Amino acid sequence: MDNKEYLKWIMPSIKNRTVSNDNLNGKLNFRIEKAKEQYQLPVVKREDIIKYVKDFLSSMDMEISFDPAIKPKKREKRRIDYSKINKESKEDIVWIKFTTENYISVIGTGCDIYFSDYAKNNTTAGLINQSLGLEWDDREVLIFPLKNIKDGLYRSDIESGIGNYLISKGVPILDFYSHNY
C-alpha cells in the first residue's frame, strides 16, 4: 500500500468527521486528504451530473421533469426561493454546490445553501475548499426537488444515494463524505 492508500478503506469516525482551522495548518484530516485525492480526478460536466442524478431519481419512480440549474439571487440573504422549487415541502430537496473549477464541492439537503464568509470559514466544505485554494461558484447550484419519496425513506437517504451513485460513476466530490452524514 502506498503512503495514503489506507484512507480509501476508512470511513471517518465521529472524531474525524469535522474539519477545523487546525487542519489547514498541516494536521492530518481524512476529509482533506480525500478531497486532495478527488481533486486529482477529471471534472465531470454538469450536464452529465444532472443526467446521473435524474437516472437515480427515476429508478425510485421520483419526478425528474424539472431543470435543476438554479441561479441564486445576487444578494446577501434569501438568495434562493426554496418554496418555488418544491411546493410540497421546501425542505425536501437535494442540492449540489460547485467550485469555480467545476468540481462538486458538497452535496446537501434542506434549505441551507450559503456562500457567506461564515460558511466559507466555518463549514467543512468551506474549509476543504480553502485547503485546496478553491472558491465556490455562487452563480449556479443544482437543486433537485424530492417528490414522491418512497415510504420508509427520508431525504437524507436519497441524498446519500445520489452522492454514492455519482461516486460510482466516477464523479469527484471534494467533501466526499458529506452526503453520508
- Phi/psi of residue 94, nearest 5 degrees: -120, 135
Does the pLDDT value for residue 145 go beyond 60?
yes
Per-residue pLDDT band for 24 (boundaries 50, 70, 90) equals low
E strand or H helix at 110: none
pLDDT at site 5: 72
Provide mean pLDDT across the span 13-26: 64
Residue 125 grid cell: 466544505
pLDDT at site 109: 95
pLDDT at site 7: 66
Provide mean pLDDT across the span 142-158: 94
Per-residue pLDDT band for 2 (boundaries 50, 70, 90) equals low
| Cβ-based neighbours of 60, under 8 Å, separated by 6 or more | 150, 153, 158, 161
What is the residue type of 142? L
pTM for the structure as a whole: 0.90
Across 19-28, 92-101, 123-132, least confident range:
19-28
Q: Could you report the per-residue pLDDT of 25-36, keeping only the tens digit for each? A: 666 678 888 999
Cα distances from 151 to residues 53, 76, 148, 155, in angstroms, run 20, 37, 9, 11
| Cβ-based neighbours of 137, under 8 Å, separated by 6 or more | 97, 98, 99, 100, 102
* CA proximity to 174, closest of 118, 144, 131: 131
Q: Could you report the per-residue pLDDT of 101-111, keeping only the tens digit for each? A: 999 999 999 99
Provide mean pLDDT across the span 70-88: 88
Does the pLDDT value for residue 78 go beyond 90?
no
Does the pLDDT value for residue 86 go beyond 60?
yes
137 neighbors 100 (Cβ within 8 angstroms): yes
Provide mean pLDDT across the span 50-70: 95
Does the pLDDT value for residue 38 go beyond 50?
yes
pLDDT at site 74: 84
More confident residue, 128 or 27: 128
What is the residue type of 106? V
pLDDT at site 1: 47
Residue 46 grid cell: 454538469
